[in-house]
């Protein structure tokens, strides 16, 4: 009886993941809420301070454009999207690290391995496990932040 075993390399898995993401239809839905700006009324000039109006002086100095109002809902949506993107990046990193751990474990328990290689693999395995622990901690914190933002919801206009 013969058994053939093939291991997936990290590059193969990454390639398939990129192909899968390329086929997924991702859509970003944003809505814009416009807030009416009240008209400002010019102050009534004092009777003693009336001056003749020079049309050339007004033409030389155009009115300064008003700074655009910051839409709090749009700002909240952008912040939430950034946090979601970071969660996705951390999940991808977690998957890649777990695959590295699997590959190193397979190398460690290979039927034929010399002691120097075994020591190197064990050292690298410890490093990757520490990276995975740190990534999982950051992922957990980022998910909690996202959950808190979603529970709070966008600001009311």
Q: What is the mean pLDDT of each run of 10 residues along the chain (157 residues)?
A: 66 81 64 49 48 53 62 90 95 96 92 91 95 96 94 84
Is there a domain that residue 76 lies in? yes
Say what percent of the chain tops pLDDT 90. Answer: 45
Is there a domain that residue 21 lies in? no
What pLDDT is recorded for position 95?
A: 96
Total domains, the chain? 1
Q: Judge contact between 69 and 117, C-beta under 8 A.
A: no
Is there a domain that residue 90 lies in? yes
What pLDDT is recorded for position 35?
A: 46
What pLDDT is recorded for position 40?
A: 46
What pLDDT is recorded for position 88?
A: 96
Its pTM stands at 0.55
What pLDDT is recorded for position 15?
A: 82
Q: Rounded to whole angstroms, what are the CA distances from 83 to 12, 41, 60, 136, 139?
A: 28, 43, 47, 15, 10
Is there a domain that residue 54 lies in? no
Say what percent of the chain tops pLDDT 70. Answer: 67
What pLDDT is recorded for position 20?
A: 82
Is there a domain that residue 84 lies in? yes
Q: Judge contact between 89 and 143, C-beta under 8 A.
A: no
What pLDDT is recorded for position 104?
A: 93
Question: With 0-12 CB in 10 A as exposed, 13-18 as middle and 19+ as buried, what is 135?
Answer: buried
Between CA 149 and CA 32 the distance in angstroms is: 19
Is there a domain that residue 18 lies in? no
Residue range(s) defining the domain that contains residue 144? 71-157
Is there a domain that residue 88 lies in? yes
Which DSSP letter does residue 101 get? H
Is there a domain that residue 40 lies in? no
């Amino acid at each position: 009886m013969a058994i053939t075993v093939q291991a997936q390399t990290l590059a193969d898995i990454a390639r398939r993941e990129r192909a899968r993401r390329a086929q997924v239809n991702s859509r970003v839905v944003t809505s814009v809420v416009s807030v009416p700006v009240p008209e400002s009324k010019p102050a009534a000039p004092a009777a003693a301070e009336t001056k003749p109006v020079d049309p050339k002086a007004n033409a030389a100095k155009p009115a300064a454009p008003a700074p655009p109002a910051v839409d709090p809902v749009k700002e909240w949506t952008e912040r939430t999207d950034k946090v979601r993107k970071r969660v996705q990046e951390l999940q991808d990193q977690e998957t890649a690290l777990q695959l590295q751990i699997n590959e190193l474990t397979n190398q460690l328990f290979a039927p034929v391995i010399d002691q120097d290689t075994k020591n190197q693999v064990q050292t690298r395995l410890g490093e990757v496990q520490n990276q995975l622990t740190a990534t999982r901690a950051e992922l957990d914190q980022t998910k909690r932040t996202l959950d808190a933002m979603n529970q709070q919801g966008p600001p009311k206009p």
